[in-house]
Amino acid sequence: MSRDARWRMPSEADPHERTWMAFPPSTLALGADADEIAVARRVWSETAHAVLAFEPVTMLVDPADVAAARQMLSSEVTLVEQPLDDAWMRDVGPTFVLDDEGQLGGVDWTFNGWGGQKWASWGRDSQVAAAIIDLVGCTHLASTLVNEGGGIHVDGLGTVLVTETVQLDPGRNPGLTKSDVERELAVMIGVDNVIWLRRGLARDYEDLGTRGHVDMVATFPSAGCVLLHDQRNTEHPDHELTADVLKTLAEATDSRGKPFEIVRLPAPMTLRDKDDFVDYTYINHLVVNGGVIACTFGDSVDGEALDVLASAYPGRKVVGVDAREIFARGGGIHCITQQQPVAT
């Protein structure tokens, strides 16, 4: 790998070659029994088919689960055998970048199970990024920074959103400073403007959480614009977070020194599930070629949120997928997907 080349992570809204996913393995990572694993496989498959309407999908499948995957997935989904611990492709897959000539590279972050979570296994998943990079045949960019794809959001012009509780997590990067993290992000994804949010959604610090992934909180739909998770209900602990992040973003500028247009994306009306306050968020969507695959929750705000997304991504078709069973397992649609940009 060359650390001397200039690499840049493009905007998610730039053209894609394909989307990568992983089929939920039979390791009980995403369910306590076979029935729960079957539910996970159903919603992962529904997401894959929604993406497939816009661009190719390649699905990694543990060798033990190939027959099940072929039964549930369209023949148009490309299957690749790869040992898996889990199925959160955003976090275990590579972050794709482009050099100045438009050639493709893949950042292989160090992965340690979201900071060494007691419930996580990552011996297999820590090899996934390198395996995909090898399959694609692009430049392998190995990073010592413990990071996941859900921990960063870029505008493609030099700005990245991160949270302190992920990047400075003692379980991930003990002893690193903000400057240390910023230097590595500059080399790996070509950013010169890092916006630090203090933390993520409240539920993300409980069991099955990531300790604050930014892709549940805010994202860039276009240059100069930020979509913000807007928890309007004062009963929910994320109401305070919304105010905190809004203040940070209002004081921030992009790499050009320009302030951001901040668009509030409403949180669902649903406040709790059977366990605690929910982390349901429409921020955790995937932009695809000509479309947006959005989380829905059977909630009265679904329609309003999809309208906001349609306005934020003009000219794209917004498709909703019920993501409650994904969120019950610790993430959303953005978390189970990873885009590969078109190389030139």
Backbone angles phi, psi at 14, to 5 degrees: -70, 160
Contact between 55 and 19 under an 8 Å Cβ cutoff? The reply is yes
Name the β-bridge partners of 140: 106
Is residue 295 annotated as part of the catalytic site, yes or no?
no
Summarize pLDDT for 111-121 with one digit per residue, the tens.
999 999 999 99
Instruction: List the one residue out of 274, 287, 288, 280 whose CA is nearest residue 326.
Output: 280
CA 235, CA 269: separation in Å to the nearest integer? 11
pLDDT at 29: 84
Give the closest residue to 130 by CA, choosing from 122, 142, 121: 142
The band of 4, judged by pLDDT with boundaries at 50, 70 and 90, is low
Mean pLDDT of 170-177: 98
Nearest to 21 by CA among 56, 48, 55: 48
User: Is residue 182 within a helix (H) or strand (E), and if so which, with residue range?
Assistant: helix 178-189
- Helices (DSSP H) in 1-117: which residue ranges? 34-52, 66-72, 89-92, 113-116
Report field, pTM of the whole predicted structure over 0.95: yes
Q: What is the pLDDT of residue 1?
A: 42
Q: Is residue 3 over pLDDT 70?
A: no
Look at residue 221 and give its three-state secondary structure. Answer: strand
pLDDT digits (tens, 9 = 90+) for 20-68: 999 999 988 899 899 999 999 999 999 999 999 999 999 999 999 999 9
User: By percentage, how much of the chain surpasses pLDDT 90?
Assistant: 96
Catalytic residue among 138, 225, 295, 335: 335
Mean pLDDT (whole number) for 6-20: 98
Q: What are the tens digits of pLDDT across the range 249-285?
A: 999 999 999 999 999 999 999 999 999 999 999 999 9
Q: Which pLDDT belongs to residue 27?
A: 85
pLDDT at 207: 86
Is a pLDDT exceeding 70 seen at residue 84?
Answer: yes
Residue 173 in this model has a pLDDT that exceeds 70: yes
| Residue listed under structure tokens 């000509």 | 290
Q: What is the pLDDT of residue 222?
A: 97
pLDDT at 323: 98
What the block records as the tokens of 197 is 């949010």
Is residue 80 over pLDDT 70?
yes
pLDDT in tens, 324-341: 999 999 999 999 999 999
Q: What is the pLDDT of residue 28?
A: 82
Domains in the chain, please, with CATH? Answer: 7-341 (3.75.10.10)
**Helix, strand, coil shares of the chain as percentages rounded to 5?**
30, 25, 45
